[in-house]
Structure 1
Amino acid sequence: MTVLSREDRGALDTAVQAARRVAEAGARNALSVLGICDEKKPPHLTLEQAELRRLLRVELRRLGGVNAEGFEALIRAVAYEQWHRMLFARFLAENDLLFHPTYKVAVTLAECGEIAREENRDLFELAAEYAEWMLPGIFRQDDPLLSIRYAPEDTAGLHSILSGISDLTFLAEDALGWTYQFWQTEKKKEVNVSERKIEGYDLCAVTQLFTEPYMVQFLLENTLGAWWLSLHPESRLRSEWVYYKEQVQHDFSTWPTAINDLRILDPCCGSGHFLVRAFHMLLAMRQELGEDDESAIAAIIGKNLHGLELDPRCIQIATFALALEAWKAGFSPTKSYLPVPNLACTGIPIKAEKEEWLRLAGGDGSLEIELEKYYELFKNADTLGSLIQVDSGETLANAETLKKAFERAIKKEKDAGDPVAAIFGETAHGVMKAVDLLSRKYDCVVTNVPYLSGGKHGSLLKSFCQDNYSDAKNDIATVFLKRCLSLCRRGGKVSAVMPQNWLFLKSYMKFREGLLKQERWDLLARLGEGGFHSSAAAGAFTILLSISHTQAPEGHMLCGLDVSEERSAAAKAGALVDAEMKCVEQKGQLENPDGRIVFEMNTNETLLSTISYCYHGLTSGDMPRMKFCYWEITELMDIWMPYQGTISNHIFFGGNECLLRWEHGNGAIRILPGARRDGLEAWGKQGVLISQMRVLPSTIFKKEAYDNNTAVIVPHNPAHLPAIWCFCSSPEYNTAVRKIDQSLKVTNATLVKVPFDIDHWTKVAEEQYPHGLPEPYSDDPTQWLFHGHPCGSVIWDEETKRLTHGPIRTDATVLHVAIARLLGYRWPAETDPGMELAAEAREWVKRCDALLPFADDDGIAGIPSLRGEGRLVDRLRSLLAAAYGTAWSPEMENKLLRAAGYTKNDGQLKGDLESLLRDGFFASHSQLFHHRPFIWQIWDGRPDGFSVLLNYHKLDRRNLERLIYTYLGGWITQQRSEVAAGNPGSEERLVAALDLKGRLEKILEGEKPYDIFIRWKPIHEQPIGWDPDLNDGIRLNIRPFVEAGVLRSTPKIHWRTDRGKDPVPNASGTMERHNDRHFKIDEKKQARVDWDL
C-alpha cells in the first residue's frame, strides 16, 4: 500500500487550498459575466451563453434559490467541478490510464496539450473529453458547471498549481482522499469560528476527516480478513495481514460462504478509503480462488462493495478512486466498461417546491405518489444523509419498476424542453439509488463515523437524534453506530473509527448498557489522542471498534488493545501490530461503575466516592469579562474574589493567579448565557483541587471559588484530607482514573469513582505529613499567596516534614519583583493581614516593610535620570542590596541577568542591568504575567532616547499628564538645550521626543482610535479621554497605548470578537462580543446628554 509521505502530504495541502481560492475566484468572475443573479439577461451574451445562463439558473434554484445563498453555493459547485476535472485527468494520465477515445492508446498530458493547441482548446477540457467514455458519470461534457469558461488568467492559475504537484503524489493510494479533506480546510475553519449550530452543508465540512491507512487496515483485516480465514485457515494472505488478531472470538455462522454473496457497506464512505482497501483485499481473495482479474474486479465493484455518503462530491471522488484502482489492478478500460459502482449520495436534498418536484411524474399518478414519498424522505437529506431510514413502514415501489417509469416520464419532459427535468431528474435518479442501498442489509458495515457533539447540532439534527436515538443523542458518532447496526444483517459486523468518550461518560450509560446487553463486542483498540496525522483532528481521542449485530453468548470475551500511550499516528500504527491483547468478559463490564468499558477493574475495592464528594467548578459565561489576573486589580472591593484555576504539575499551592467578578453573586454572573454557579458547596471547605485535563495534576484547595476546568474533592471527614492529597498527588491516581476514563477532560463525577485504599493512604500521609499538611505559601509572584519579597523563599523540608526558610532566590522572577516594588506595587499578602498564610511566608511579608522606602511616589521611573530622581538602574541596585543584604555583589547581579535569560547564544551576557531595563525587561514582564503587564515601558523608539517604566495602577489622568508635561517635558527641554549646544544626536532625540509627546496627548484626549472601549458598558459609561477603570482590566485599558505605538514591545493581546453572545445588545450595538470598536468623543458626550434626559 503506497501512501503519501509527510512532505508530499504537506505540499498537496498547500496546493489544494490555493486551488480552491483560485477556482472560487474564477467561478465568481465567470458567473458575474453571465449575470446569473440578474433579473434580466445581460445584452452582451451570445445565444450559447444565454442558454448556459438558463441552465445555471435552474441549477441555482436546486442549490438554494436565486439569492445570495444560492449564488455562493453555485460558486462552490463550479469551483469544485472545474478543479477536480483537471485533477482527475492528471490522476489518470500519471497512472497511464488516459486513453485516446479513437485509437484506445494511453496519452500523456503533454500529448493532450499538443492536440489541444492544434484544436485551439483547453488542455483539461480535452483530457476530460477523453476520459468521459471511461467514466461518463464523472466527466460529463453536458454538465453546465463544466461548460463555464474561466478567464485565461484564472485558468492559468489553476494549471500552474496543478503542474506544481509532485508526480509521485498521483501514484499514492491515499492521495485522492487527502485532496478533499484539504479542499474543505478553509470552510471547516469558517464554520468552527462562526460558532453556529451545525446542519446542512456545514456538516460535510465540519465532519470531514480522512481516515488513516492503518485504521482502515486494522478494521478490515479483523472483519473481512477474519471471515476469509475462517473459511480458508491456510490462506497465504494471513502473512500479509499484519493487524489480524487471532485471539478474537468471531462467529461467522450467519455470513455467506460464497464470496459473490458478500455485501460490504461504508455508510459514510467519504473519498472511498475503506472501499479501496477492501477492493484490494477482495481481489487477493478472488485470485486465491483462481478467478481471472477482469471477472474478479467486475464482481467486486458490481456485487461486493457499497458506499453511501452525505457529500455528493465525496461520492464522485470515491467513484473515481474505485475505478482508478480497478484499472491499475488490471481491468482494461479499452476492452469493456467497468460496472457502475454501488455508490450513492444520501445528502442530496430536494430543494424544489413540492409541486415542481411532482411534475417529474409526467402525469403518471402512481409515480407521483411514489415521488411524494421520496420528497418527504429526502427534503432534509443534506442534514440526515445515511440516517434516513426507508425501512420503517415506508411502502416504496419496486426500485426497478419505479426507475423505468421515471425514465419514461423524464424523457417526455426533456423532449418538451423543460430544463427542470434535466436538473431535478438527476436529483431524482440519485435519490432512487440512495433509497435502494439504504433499504438493503449488509454483512459488514465499516466506516469512520462523523464526530459532532450534541451541543453543536442544529435544531433539525438535534430533534431527529432525540426522537430516534435518545440514548445515543449526545454525539452523532454514537447515533451512527446504532444506525450502522440497523444496516447489518443479524450476525453481521460493524467496524468503526469512533471517538472514545462514550465508553466511559455517565451521559452514555444507558447507551453502553444497551449495546453490552444486545450486541456482541469483539474487538476494541484504544488509540487515544494523536491517532490522526491531520491537524484537523487535533484533540480527537479515538478507538477502533468491531461489534457484531447479535447478542453475546454467556462467557463471551471482549478483546482489547491500548496504544494510547504512543504519541504519534505512526507510533500507534506500529504498536497495534504486537500490542498486548487483554480479554475481559463482556457481561462483566456491566458491573463496572456506570457500566464503563474497562480492560481491567477490581470492583471489590472501596471507591473514593464513599468518603468524599467531587464538585465541578464555576463557569463564568464570559471569561474575558469575568476572569482577570489578580495583579490587574488593587482592591477586591465588593466586586472581586479569588478564583482558583488549573495547574500543570502537582504542587502544594497553585492555580492562584485569577479573580472572579462575583459581585456577591448578584451581578453579570446571574444573567450571562452559559454562566453556571457550580461548586458553591465546596466554597469555604478544604479539599484537593484537580485540573481535569491530561495527567490530572492536583493542588490543595483552600475555600475559594474555582473555575470549570477544575474540580474539588472534599472529604466527608476533614481528617481524611491528607490521605486523599497523598493519593491524588501520586502517579497512582491518574493511572486509576485513566483506566476508566481516557477523555481529554475528565468529569468531576469520574474523579472519585476509583478504588481508594484508605488504610494504605492514611499510613502514607502519616509518614509524609506527621505535622499535618503545610499552610498556604508560594515563592511565585504570579500567585496571590506570594509574600512579596524579591529574594525570600519558603520550602518544604523533607527531613523535618515542615515548611522552612529556603536559600535566597536568584531565579528569573527576582528582578521583576524588585522593579514592581520600586514602582510602588505591593502583593495581596502584604495588604491583607487576614489572608491565610504560613508563618514562614508571613515572616517574609514583614521583611518587605524594610523595602517600602524605595518605592517611587508616583509610580513613574525614568531609565535615564529624570526629574532629579536618579537613574533607574541605580535605584534598583539599592533596593536589591537592601533585599539581599551581605549577599549582594556584582557577581549576584550578573547571576540575576543570566537567570533572566539576558545572554547571547555563546552564553555571554548581552549587556548590563541598565541595558536589560531598556531593551529586555518589558517583553519578559509581559510574558511572565500572562500578557497582562502591570508595569509598562513607554519610550520614543530610540535606544538613547526617552524611556520610563511606570505602574499601570497609578496611571490615572493626572499621572499621564505628569508623564507628558513633567517627565517628557523636562526631557524635551534638556534636548533643546543640547541642540543649542550642538551635541551629536540631540536633534534626532528631540524629534523623537516631540513625536512621543504628540502620541501621548492623543491618548490623553481619547479621540478614536486612541479611545478605550468596554463592550459591556453602555456608551454613556464609556470613558472620555484617558480615564481608565481598573475593573475593566489591562486588556482593554492598554489598547490606546498599543494603537499609539508607544510601548517598548507589544504584548500578545487581541481585541477580536470573544466567544459567545450577550443576552442583550452591548456597546457594539449587537449581541456579538466585539472588542475592536471605537467611538468618537462627540458620540460619548451625546450619549451622556441623552442618558441624563
Structure 2
Amino acid sequence: MNTGSLKSFATKARLDLIKGVRARLSVVLAENSIARVESRDAIRALERAIGNYGREGVVDRVAYTWFNRIIALRFMDANAYTPSAVVSPEAGRVTGQPEILAEAKSGTFDPDIVPPKTAAKVTAFLNGTTPSSDPQGEAYGLLLEAYCRHWNKALPFMFEREGDYTELLIPSALLAADSVRAQAVETLTRGVCEDVEVIGWLYQFYISERKDEVFAGFKKNKKAGADEIPAATQLFTPHWIVRYLVENSLGRLWMLNNPTSSLVDQMEHYIAPVDDDTDFLKISGPEELKVVDPACGSGHMLTYAFDLLYSIYEEQGYTPSEIPGLILSHNLYGIEIDPRAGALAAFALTMKAAARRKLFLKKPVAPNVRVLEPVKFTSDELDLLRPPTIGRVKRSRGTETLDLFDPTRDEIDGFWNQFQHADTFGSLIRPDADLIAPLRTHVETLEDDILGAAELREAAENVLDQAEYLTQRYHVAIANPPYMGGKQMNPLLSQFMKNEYPDSKSDLFAGFIERCTGLALPHGAAAMITMQSWMFLSSYEKLRSSLLANQWITSMLHLGARAFDSVGGEVVSSTAFVLTNLPSESRNQAGSFIRLVDGNSESEKARALSAALSERTTDAGFHLASGDDFADVPGSPIVYWLSEKMRAVFTTGARLGTVASLAVGLQTGDNNRFLRQWWEVSGVRTAFSCTSREDAAASGARWFPYNKGGEFRKWYGNQDYVLNWENDGAEIVDFKPRSVIRNPKTYFSPSVSWSDISSGEAAFRRYPAGFVHDSTGHSGFGGHAVLDQISLLLNSRYVMEVMQVLAPTMHFHIGYVGLVPVADGVRALATSAVDDLVETSREDWDISETSWNFAQDPLVALA
C-alpha cells in the first residue's frame, strides 16, 4: 500500500475541508440565511455546539466528520456496496461526476433513498426552475444529504439522522476536479480499497498535522488537553505486529483448546508453546470468546481479530452467512475516547462483515464499539439517582464471600460522576461492577412525571452502559495504548494517574498495561505493544514486580527502535508482548522472547522474526526466560537474553556502591551564569589544584575546575569548564532553591567519573584532586588503590555487558552503576597498568590547544 499518496491526500483534505466548512458556516449563520428559516432546530443545535466548542472547534469537528463520510462512501462505492456510486463516477471511470448526479440528470432516482420532495428540488435545480449560481452543486448537495440519511440506518456511527447540523455544513465545490471528493476517488482506487486497513492509515495521516502542533506545544511546556490527547497519542500499528499480537493471544487460546485445529496454518507469527501447557482458559465454542481493545483507534487490532475469528467459526461448521453477525454481536469490543476514531473502527468492522456477506448491510449487526462520553450530574440530579438503600454483596476475597452492606452516599455519587472526564481518562476508569445492577434497577423506577426524567434516564443509562464495557472481563485484551509521559499530561490527568495507577504513573501506556491485565479474565491474556522503557527503568520497578507476581510473560518481540516506519529514528523504542493472568504455581514456566532490536525498518524486523521462528536459536534471536530469571537481577529488569552464567554474576559478590563512595554533584541552577570555559577567564583568578573546600576558600581564587561529564572518553579528559566557587560557593549557595548543593564533602577530591547520558557504552575517567563535580558528572570516591581498581573494572568489557542489563537506555544513573557486581578477585587486580592508561589518554588530551596543560603542537615538536 502506497502510504505516501494516502498521507498527501489526507493532509491536504483536512486543510481543504476546514476551509470549505468555515466558509459554509459563515453563510449558514448569516442573519437572513435560508437555513435560519428552513432548519431552525439544526441552527439551534449548531449554535449550542459553538457555545460548547467554539467556532473553530465546530469547524474542525465537522470537517473531520465529512472526511470520514467521504472516505467511507468512496470505500463503499469501490466495493460495490452502494446501489449507485455516491461520490464516485459510474463503474469503469476514474474521473467525472458522481453516478447519483448523472442518474438524477436523466431523471432517475432511487425511491427507497431519495424522497419525492428531495427529487423534485434536485430536478428544479438541474432544469433551471430554481435559479442558482451552482445548480449542479446544489443538486448534488441534496442528493448527498439523502444518501447520508439513508445510510444512517445501517451505519449510524458514520451518518447522522435527518436534521443534524452537519448537513448544513456540507463543503462547497465537491464537484470540482480538485475537490476532496475527486481526490478521494483518485487516491482510494479499487485496489487500495480491497483492504480496510486503509481506513486506519487515513485516520493517522488526517490528524498528523494536528499531532505535530501538539508536540510543538510540548516543547514549550504545554500540556495535552482532552481534545489533544487523541492526536498526541495516535500511532498506527504495522500489520505484522498486529498479527503477532492477535495470533499469540486469541489464536493461542484457540489452539490450546483445539490442538489439532488447522488455524495454526494461517498464523504466520504464532509462537507454538515450548512445553505442554495444561493451565489455560477453557472454552467450549467460538461464541464464548470475547476480545476487547480498550484504546481501539480506527480498529486495526479488531479487524484482524475478525479474520481469525471467521476462520474459527468456519472450522466449527457455522453457516458463512451467520458468521459476520455472530462475531460482531458476541466476540469483538472496542472502547475509544475520540468519536471520529470510534466511528472509523465501527465502520471498518462493518466493512469486514460486508466483505464476507454481501447482504450484510441490508440487516446489519451494530459493532460493539463504545465511545466514552463525558457525563456529569448536578446535585439535584444525584438526589434522584441515589436510591434509598442498596444491599449488595461485597467482592469475594478468595473463596470467602463477605457480608452484605450498603454503599455510602459518596460511593454512589462517585459512580454516577466517574465519567465526567471520560474524554481524558478513557478506559483507565475502573467502575465499581457491584453497583451497576442495583443502580440500573433504580433508574428504571424513576417517575416519568419528574421534570427532565427522560433526559436524566438517558444520561444515567449511558453511564451504566459505559460502566458495563469497563467492568466486563474478556478472554483477550489487546491494545496499542496511548504513549504520554507525565511531563505532557495536564494536571487533571497527572493527578488521576498518581491516585489510580501509582505503580505506572510515569506514562499512560504503563497504566494501560495494568488496565489490560485487569480487563482480562483469570487465565486470560493481555496482548500489547508499548514503549520498551517499562522493561528496564527504575521508575517502572514496582510495575514489573506486580506483573511478575501476577502474570506470566508468555511471549515478547523486543522491537527496539525503528519498528514504525512512520516514526523516524530512535524516537520510539518499543516492545510487543503477551501477558497471561496465571496463578503462582503456573508462572514458573519459560516464555518465548525474540530479540529484533537490530533491524532498521519494519520489513527488516519482520524478516528477522520469521527467521527466529524458523530456527528457534539464540543466534537467531530466540530466547527462553522466566520470571524467576528476572528476579535474580536487581530491579527485576526484563533481561531475557542473559545466559545462566551471566545471571549468576548478580547473585554473588559485593556491589560497587559498597566498595566505593558514589555521589551526584552540584546543580548550579544557571550554568550560563556560573560556568565558563577555562580560557574565557583570568588565569590569575583560577586555582587548578586545590585539595579541599578549605583549601579553595583560602586560595582567594574565583574559578575552579568543574567536571561536567561530556563526550565519550575513557581514562582522562573532558576538562573544559571552570566554576565560580569564590568564597566557598557563596553566590551559588545564595541562588537557592534553583541551585542544589549535593555532597559538598566530595568536592575537590580525586575521583573516577562518567557522564550521565551516553548514546553508546559508558566511559569512565580519572579526575585528579581539584575538581567540583556536576549533577551530570557522576563520580566515585575512595583511596588511590580503590580508584585504580574500580577504574579497571568499570572500563572493562565485563561492565559494559553488565550495564546493558542494568541500564539498557542512554542513562547511566549513579544508582545503576552502584549495582555493578564486584567479584572478590577485583580487589586483587594488578593496577599497575592504570597509570599508563591514564597517562596515554592525558597525553592525547593535552595535544589540543583547549587543554590547560597544552605546551606545544605535536607537529612542531616533530620538526
- Considering the TM-score relative to the shorter chain, is it more than 0.5? yes
Instruction: Give the counterpart letter for 1:262 in structure 2.
Output: L
Shift of residue 219 of structure 1? 1.7
1:387 to 428, 431, 434: 428
Alignment match, 2:308: 281
2:757 maps to which residue?
Answer: 692
When residues 538 and 619 of structure 1 are mapped into structure 2, their CA distance, relative to the original with a 3 A threshold, is farther
Q: What is the match of residue 142 of structure 1?
A: 162
1:728-751 CA-to-partner distances (Å, cap 9, x unmatched) read 444443322122443343433113
Residue 270 of structure 2 is matched in structure 1 by 244
How many angstroms does 1:88 deviate by? 1.4
1:567 and 2:600 correspond? yes
- Tell me, in whole angstroms, the C-alpha distance in 2 between the residues paired with 1:536 and 1:428: 45
Does structure 1 conserve the Cα–Cα contact (< 8 Å) formed by 2:447 and 2:453? no
Match of 1:611 in 2: 659
Aligned partner letter, 1:604: T
Q: Which blocks of at least 5 consecutive residues in structure 2 are unaligned?
A: 107-121, 123-138, 390-409, 613-619, 687-700
TM-score (norm: length of structure 2)? 0.78
1:856 — aligned with what?
none
Q: Is contact 2:387-2:442 (8 Å) kept?
A: no
SS at match of 1:201: coil
Cα gap change, 1:591/1:884 in structure 2, threshold over 3 Å: closer, same or farther? closer
Task: State the partner residue of 1:855.
Answer: none
User: Deviation digits for residues 853-882 of structure 1, max 9, x if unmatched?
Assistant: xxxxxxxxxxxxxxxxxxxxxxxxxxxxxx
Q: Which amino acid aligns with 2:651?
A: N
Residue 159 (1) aligns with residue 181 (2): yes
* Contact 2:336–2:370 (Cα < 8 Å) also in 1: yes
Please report how far the alpha carbon of residue 297 of structure 1 lies from its aligned counterpart in structure 2 after TM superposition.
1.3
Following superposition of structure 1 onto structure 2, how do residues 548-947 of structure 1 map, counting pairs within 5 Å?
Answer: 548-553=580-585, 555-577=588-610, 578=612, 579-599=620-640, 600=642, 601-602=647-648, 603-606=650-653, 607-616=655-664, 644=707, 649-656=712-719, 665=729, 676-677=740-741, 683-684=747-748, 685-702=750-767, 704=771, 710-757=776-823, 759=825, 763=829, 766=832, 768-769=833-834, 771=836, 773-774=838-839, 777=842, 787-788=848-849, 829=852, 837=853, 841-844=854-857
Contact kept, 8 Å, 2:590 with 2:626, in 1: the verdict is: yes
State how far apart, in whole Å, the 1-side matches of 2:447 and 2:301 are.
Answer: 33
The verdict on how the C-alpha distance between 1:53 and 1:649 changes in structure 2, with shifts beyond 3 A counting, is same
The 8 Å contact of residues 345 and 431 in structure 1, kept in 2 or not, is answered as no
Contact 2:291 2:474 in 1 (8 A): yes
| 1:371 to 1:885, Cα distance in 2 relative to 1, 3 A | closer
TM-score w.r.t. length of structure 1? 0.62
In the alignment, the residues of structure 1 paired with residue 319 and residue 450 of structure 2 have an alpha-carbon distance, to the nearest angstrom, of: 39
Distance 1:126 1:395, change over 3 A: closer
Give 1:805's aligned residue: none
Q: Aligned residue for 1:53? A: 43
Q: What one-letter code is carried by the residue in structure 2 that aligns with 1:442?
A: Y
Could you tell me which residue of structure 2 aligns to residue 186 of structure 1?
209
Question: Is the partner of 1:595 in helix, strand or coil?
Answer: coil
Deviation at 1:261, TM superposition (A): 0.8
**Alignment RMSD:** 4.2
CA shift, 1:139, in A, is 1.4
2:99 is aligned, of 90, 99, 111, to 111
The separation in 2 between residues aligned to 1:489 and 1:303, in whole angstroms, is 16
Tell me the equivalent position of 1:327: 354
Cα distance in 2 between the residues matched to 1:272 and 1:463: 29
Between the aligned partners of 1:413 and 1:776, the Cα distance in structure 2 is: 82
One-letter code aligned to 1:329: R
Counterpart position of 1:993 = none
Q: Aligned residue for 2:337?
A: 310
Tell me: CA distance 1:656–1:373, structure 2 relative to 1, closer, same or farther (3 Å). Answer: same
Query: Which sits farther off after the overlay, 771-780 or 495-504?
Result: 771-780
State the Cα deviation string for residues 480-533 of structure 1 (Å, max 9, x = none): 222222222222111221222223323333332232223333223322222222
1:166–1:180 Cα change, 3 Å: closer
Aligned pairs for 1:32-47 within 5 A: 32-35=26-29, 46-47=36-37
Contact kept? 2:149, 2:162, Cα under 8 Å: no
Residue 66 of structure 2 corresponds to residue 82 of structure 1:
yes
- The 5 A counterparts of 1:436-447 are 436-447=468-479
- What is the CA–CA distance in structure 2 between the aligned matches of 1:162 and 1:354, rounded to whole Å? 49
Q: In 2, Cα distance between the equivalents of 1:447 and 1:467?
A: 23
1:214 is displaced (CA, Å) by 2.2
Aligned-partner SS, 2:435: coil
Q: 1:886 to 1:662 in 2, by over 3 A?
A: closer
Structure 1 counterpart of 2:181, which letter?
H
Structure 1 residues 214 and 625: alpha-carbon distance in aligned structure 2, compared to 1, 3 A threshold: farther
- Matched AA of 1:121: Y
1:824-851, Cα deviation, whole Å (9 max, x unpaired)? xxx572xxxxxxx4xxx4355xx9xxxx
Equivalent runs, 1:9-408 vs 2, <5 Å: 9-35=3-29, 46-48=36-38, 50-61=40-51, 65=52, 70-100=54-84, 110-115=98-103, 119=122, 120-122=139-141, 125=145, 128-129=148-149, 131-142=151-162, 144-150=164-170, 152=172, 156=176, 157-159=179-181, 161-167=183-189, 168-194=191-217, 195-248=221-274, 250=277, 253-333=280-360, 336-346=362-372, 348-350=373-375, 375-391=416-432, 394-397=435-438
Alpha-carbon distance in 2 for matches of 1:500, 1:269: 20
* Relative contact order, higher structure (CA 8 A, sep 6+): 2
Q: Which has the larger radius of gyration?
A: 1
Tell whether the 8 Å contact from 1:272 to 1:317 is kept in structure 2 after alignment: yes
Distance 1:746 1:310 in 2: 38
Distance in 2 (alpha carbons) for counterparts of 1:42 and 1:628: 69
Counterparts of 1:323 and 1:409, CA distance in 2: 40
2:35–2:43 contact (8 Å) kept in structure 1: no
C-alpha change, 1:549 and 1:408, in structure 2 (3 Å) is: farther
Q: 1:630 to 1:124 in 2, by over 3 A?
A: farther
Cα distance in 2 for residues equivalent to 1:544 and 1:457: 24
Residues 413 and 551 (structure 1), Cα distance of their counterparts in 2 relative to 1, 3 Å cut:
closer
> What CA distance in whole angstroms lies between the structure 2 residues aligned with 1:350 and 1:525?
39
TM-superposition CA deviations, 1:326-380 (whole Å, max 9, x none) = 212335235x42211111012x213686668999x9x9999xx999776412111
**1:741–1:220 CA distance, 2 compared to 1 (3 A):** farther
Q: Residues 496 and 546 of structure 1 are in contact (CA less than 8 Å); yes or no, is this contact kept in structure 2?
A: yes
Indicate whether 1:531 and 2:601 are aligned: no
Kept in 2, the 8 Å contact 1:616–1:748? The answer is: yes
Flag the 1:161–1:364 CA change in 2: closer, same or farther, 3 A: farther
| Match in the other structure for 2:491 | 459
CA 1:328–1:290: 2 relative to 1, 3 Å: same
- CA–CA separation in structure 2 for the residues paired with 1:169 and 1:654: 58
Q: Which moved more, 1:300-309 or 1:436-445?
A: 436-445
Compute the displacement of 1:412 (Å).
Answer: 8.9
What is the number of residues matched between the two proteins? 765
Deviation at residue 269 of structure 1 after TM alignment: 1.1
CA distance, structure 2, for counterparts of residue 613 and residue 679 of structure 1 = 11
Distance 2:730 2:236 in 1: 48
Give the partner amino acid of 2:817.
L
Residue aligned with 2:324, SS: helix
Task: Give the deviation of 1:593 after TM superposition.
Answer: 0.8
**What is the CA–CA distance in structure 1 between the aligned matches of 2:724 and 2:209, rounded to whole Å?**
37
Question: What aligned pairs does 1:419-498 form with structure 2 within 5 A after superposition?
Answer: 431-498=463-530
